[in-house]
Amino acid sequence: MSYDAREWVWDHSHSKGTARMVLALIADRCRDRHCVAYASVPTLMKRANASRTAVRDALAKLIASGELVPLAGRKGPRGETYYCLPLAARFLAEQAAEGDRNSALQGDQIPTLGGSESDPVESFERGSESDPGERNPAPRGYGFRPGGGADSDPQNCREPKVNGKSSSSSAPLISATEWEIDDDARAWLQQNGHLDRLGEHALHAADEKWRTYRATWAPRTAAAWAADWRAWIAREHTPTPGRPNLYAVPGGPPTPTTGMTRSEAHMAALLAALDEPTGTE
- Burial letters for 13-51: b for 16+ Cβ neighbours within 10 Å, e otherwise? bebeebbbbbbbbbbebbbbbbbbbbbeeebbbeebebe
Q: pTM higher than 0.95 for the full model? A: no
**CA-to-CA separations, 165 to 7, 27, 229, in angstroms, rounded:** 66, 59, 26
Distance CA 213, CA 190 (A): 24
pLDDT in the model for residue 232? 85
pLDDT in the model for residue 202? 85
Which domains can be identified in the chain, with CATH numbers? 2-126 (1.10.10.10), 176-275 (no CATH)
Block mean pLDDT (10 aa), the chain, length 281 = 79 93 92 90 94 95 94 90 92 84 63 45 43 46 43 46 48 88 88 85 87 89 89 79 49 51 73 60 52
